[in-house]
Structure 1
Amino acid sequence: MNVLLIALDTVRADHLSCYGYRYETSPNLDRLAGEGVLFERMYTPGIPTQPSYTTIFTGQYSITHGIVTHGGTKEINPKSPWLPSILQRHGYTTCAVSNLWRMKSWFARGFEFYIDPSHRSKYLHTVDAETINSRAIPWLEAHHKEKFFMFVHYWDAHTPYLPPPELRRKFYDGDPFDPSNESLKPLWRQPFGEWWRESWFSQLKEDDREVTDADYIRALYDAEIYYADMAVGKLLETLEKCGVADDTMVIVTSDHGELLGEHDVFFDHHGLYEGNIHTPLIFRWRAGGVTGGRRVPHFVQHVDLAPTILDAAGIPIPDSMEGKSLLPYLRGESDEPIYSRIITQECTWQAKWAIRTDEYKLIAAREPDLHNMPMRELYHLKTDPEELNNIYLERWEVAEKLEAELEGWIKRMMEKNGLSQDPLVEQGITLGRRWHRWVEEKRYW
């Protein structure tokens, strides 16, 4: 059995056509889902990039592996298991086509081959899918006869949204420069709006006309997803050509989503709202008894990926991994709910915890945030899926119960890990304290 783990950075589930999106942004992923299993409610236990990928590779929650923020100074828990290292010890040839190691060194652990195509890019996340494939496909062609674990990381849906010119109007037919359109004005009123305006937005100008339509920016995000999807299609074709598609477990997910103006968060991934924490998860493994075209409606999390891969490979799952193997659900052997609720956190732009059940979501802030959102938010997701109506005061009894469950879980996890203080409070937000320096220093893309 081989493993191909594909990460589509910053892709929210509801902007993929296989998750019901109105545009056909993901034809190759749609086909993959038709041949495999799609998990409808995959959630990230921590955002953004560094906490999320550390969870994917450790099978642990952020409060356990120690990385609760992006760009912090904390080192990973030295006792945390590491999926690539485990697979390497069990005879796998391991390869990453990624640049995460340039953020934090632990992302290079356990990889015999670490191919970083971003050295020619000014910023890590501006490396495009074609460049990623130019490194990934030759490696796969050269090593497909070995038992391999391959991690391929596409950044395209992350800002800046600069898809190839021929795709920029694929999902848009309006006038992006209409001077009467004021849909971006809420962004310009924000203190860090200048950062966006003077960085990649300046690259979208035509004849010195500035983009005014937020829908055009959203369409560029969709175009980036489509562009990455085309690259995934070529990577999957390579598996077929090499004759290893059947015995390769293909996994597609993302580290987090993106907010596109919801709650006045424009084109970034802070805020524990559905657009940020609901991510895609698709498996295909033809030789592993995974029948195609099934959808699993239960909650699953990034902590489940490492245990699932090890279970499928016949490798013992370390007791320190906190996720659950999804193999019974892949094979149709179980249909029981896996989790009754999801707990997630962020500590990069905002310091917040959230608990999400089938019906409600409670968001609890540890300190005020840049958007002046309430310290407590409660949403009834059945009737308010877009989280527009904060009913915390009206349904205080529900909020009180959820908060008690959330705080109880945090307390138990702190005791388990020997922590004397909530790590969100101890470490504090990172990027949320730096943006003003970026504007002052004109650190624009």
Structure 2
Amino acid sequence: MLSWIIFLSIPVVFLIIYLYSFGAPASAIEPHICLVLNVLAALAAVRLLSSLVLKGKIYRAVSAIAVLLVGLCLFLSYVLALVGLKYWGRVTTVDLASTYAKQIPEFLGALGYHPLVPMVASAAVISIAWLSVYLFLSRYDWIPQLREKTSNVVFIALPCLLIAIASISVVTLSDRGWGRLGEPFSLGIFPEQGTTAMQSHPLELLHSSRIDRDEELVRSNYVASKAAKNSNVILIVVDALRADHLSLLGYKRKTTPNLEVLRYEGHMSLATSVISVCNESSCGLRGLASSRYLDRQATKPVTLEEVLKKNGYRTNLIFSGDHTNFYGLKDVYGPVDSYFDGASQTTRYINDDRLLINRVDELARWDGVPTMFHFHLMSSHVLGSRFEDTPSFGPEQSYVGLVSGSSNSNMPELAANFYDRGVLQVDRVVGDLLKKLREQGYLQNALVIVTGDHGESLGERGRYVHTHSVWEEAVRVPFLLMNFGNADPGKFETHSISSQIDVAPTILRALGMPIPSTWEGMPLQDPAVPRVVYFQQAQQIGLIDARLPNSLLKYWIDLREGKEFAFDLQSDPEEQKNIESKVNDLQRQEWRRLLANRSAALASEYRENLLSRANKPASH
């Protein structure tokens, strides 16, 4: 009995963290416990059968190995699930884990560890764990006691029955669809089951199917422009790139010298910041590609890449990082002419941006066909490789293991130094890419866009990394648009607030191409109009209201904590003073109703909470 209690305590602790720290649905509990019990049944069967042929210390040693292997597999699965939730807002998939497993030395090196150290430490821990299990079984093993109390027939039949039950469970796992209930093992093995369920931003199946149906109509009815400018498009998306850490946009440190030279040379048509739709890659990249807020993102959206292809462009995706196994991102963009990411090679660490430079070196000279390049950089990401010759801004430390604070009072400074070194490297990689593309003729007539998929926390309010916040540092990213050669993006208006979903429409307007009717963003060449932009990360949902003159009001609700926040970003851009209690009640109710209308990407319990708040009568 004691051994069962110890074993079951592992999934119980995980489920508590899974539900209360990451907002998983309660529907995940029952199927997960069922799976764990099946695993324990299989383990019991193996031990029962081994006791028939092995005796004494040999049996105990083999049994300890079996128990340890199952325990380690469970523990590792839980750790990977929590790591995925922490850094990507998703349970780590088997494919994603296997990709990184092939590059463990490079991965550890990027985190600042010599591979030999964790290997020795792991071997020591496993040895101690095995010895502990062996000693435990010498005193508390229930199998010898069962053997004494049962007949040989029953003792042989029992493991056969347990194996049959476990085998049926494994064979039928994919058909049960437990991933849609949020069961973590199913989401890791069958990530497609999480596309409308247990992700940071779930969409109900009927809602999702309506979006997909409308998207197909737009796709079939889209007509390419006969008068398009056909400038080449170089879209550079940088993972976890904060707008306020670019010296080009006013940051105190010189992090973007190459970009500033391009501005001095007259190439910079637009240098501003926009609000990302979320604080993680999957929805941020979808928002960029398909100009949609979270609650209206399609399974197969009409993307910028697809529209350019319909207008005669050759499309090339060249990514650092793993988009192949990262929750279907490779397929989001639609059919392209060439695709490459870090998972497509084994020569370098998967998150090393020198992969992009090497890939561009292999390109042929431009042949005059309008071309799109979509690059994804990882240099500013906490898991991105920092080059040895990238200068440092001072003592630094990776903050990869942090989420909500550190006992080291210097950690914010160390993290900022580490991050800023990554931004400086981004600037270098962008400069190298453009230099090579210029040499190969692609900048004779080209628009170059640099932006981010989401922001990053660097100790502000005790927070680090991403996937957990909607503060300004988490959702405000740069939007830079440069023109080279004959390209002319037009004149840009001054907008008090812009969204990540405006990036794709701005590019199409610069090219003179029709904008798909389901896109929600607006071209920044258009005159500024009073508007509201939206953002969300898990249970935190909010808006920025630019409809009133001389104010820029940001309002958001943390539905898990039941807290509301409001800031005037014009007078308080760092969100230091919460003015929610001073907001007019009628205004607050209007904001709640607006958010309720955008709440389809909330888990059901949070959506009901928001709808309840929105329907609460306002006092006059």
- Which TM-score band applies after superposition, normalised by the shorter structure? 0.7 to 0.9
What is the correspondence of 1:57-206 to structure 2 with a 5 Å cutoff?
57-65=289-297, 76-78=298-300, 80-98=301-319, 99-105=322-328, 106-119=331-344, 127-139=351-363, 141-143=364-366, 145-160=368-383, 163-167=386-390, 170-172=392-394, 187-188=405-406
Aligned partners of 2:415 and 2:459 also within 8 Å: no
SS of equivalent to 2:566 = strand
RMSD, matched Cα: 3.2
Of 488, 496, 504, 1:289 maps to 488
Q: Distance in 2 between matches of 1:212 and 1:119?
A: 38
Corresponding residue for 1:407? Answer: 592
> Relative to 1, partners in 2 of residues 1:307 and 1:290: Cα closer, same or farther, differing over 3 Å?
closer
How far apart are the structure 2 equivalents of 1:33 and 1:104? 37
8 Å CA contact 2:556, 2:564 repeated in 1: yes
CA drift of 1:96 comes to 0.4
1:355 paired to 2:580: no
The total of aligned residue pairs comes to 363
Matched, 1:264 2:462: yes
Structure 1 range deviating more: 83-92 or 14-23: 83-92
Q: Is the 8 A contact 2:238 2:452 kept in 1?
A: yes
Residues 18-33 of structure 1 aligned to structure 2 (within 5 Å)? 18-33=248-263
Counterpart CA distance in 1 for 2:351 and 2:410 is 26
- Alpha-carbon distance in structure 1 between the residues aligned to 2:312 and 2:261: 31
Flag the structure with higher helix content. 2
Q: Distance in 2 between matches of 1:303 and 1:175?
A: 34
Per chain length, whose mean CA-contact separation is higher, i.e. which structure has more relative contact order (CA < 8 Å, sep 6+)? 1
Give the unaligned 5+ runs of structure 1.
Answer: 66-75, 178-183, 190-209, 329-335, 369-373, 414-420, 430-445
**1:249 lines up with 2:447 in the alignment:** yes
Whole-angstrom CA distance in 2 between matches of 1:405 and 1:25: 41
Assess if the C-alpha contact under 8 Å between 1:36 and 1:290 holds in 2. no
Amino acid at match of 1:14: D
Tell me the CA shift for residue 142 of structure 1.
4.5
Find out whether 1:341 has 2:532 as its counterpart: yes
- The answer as to 2:268 corresponding to 1:36 is yes
Change (3 A) 1:4 1:39: same
Given the two structures, how large is their TM-score scaled by the length of structure 2?
Answer: 0.53
Counterpart residue identity of residue 580, structure 2? Y
What does residue 365 of structure 1 align with? Answer: 558
Query: Per the alignment, do residues 211 and 298 of structure 1 end up closer, same or farther by CA in structure 2, a change over 3 Å counting?
Result: closer
CA distance in 2, matches of 1:156, 1:92: 28
Q: Cα–Cα, structure 1 residues 162 and 244, in superposed 2: closer, same or farther, change >3 Å?
A: closer
Give the number of the structure whose residues are more often strand, by fraction: 1
Give the Å deviation of 1:33.
3.8
Letter matched to residue 513 of structure 2? I
2:450 is paired with a residue of what secondary structure? strand
Quick one: distance in 2 between partners of 1:352 and 1:30?
35
Per-residue CA deviation, residues 84-114 of structure 1 (Å, 9 max, x unaligned), is 1222122111110124242133335121111
AA of the residue aligned to 1:163 = R
The aligned amino acid for 1:390 is N
CA distance in 2, matches of 1:30, 1:325: 24
* CA–CA distance in structure 1, aligned partners of residues 356 and 530 of structure 2: 35
Tell me the SS of whatever aligns to 1:364. Answer: strand
- What secondary structure, in the 3-state scheme, does the structure 2 residue paired with 1:283 have? strand
CA 1:308/1:359 → structure 2, altered by over 3 Å: closer, same or farther? Answer: closer
Distance 2:276 2:605 in 1: 20
Is contact 1:55-1:62 (8 Å) kept?
Answer: yes
> In the alignment, what sits opposite 1:222?
420
Show the counterpart of 1:382: 570
Return the TM-score normalized by structure 1. 0.72
Structure 2 residue identity aligned to 1:424: L
Contact 1:6 1:251 in 2 (8 A): yes
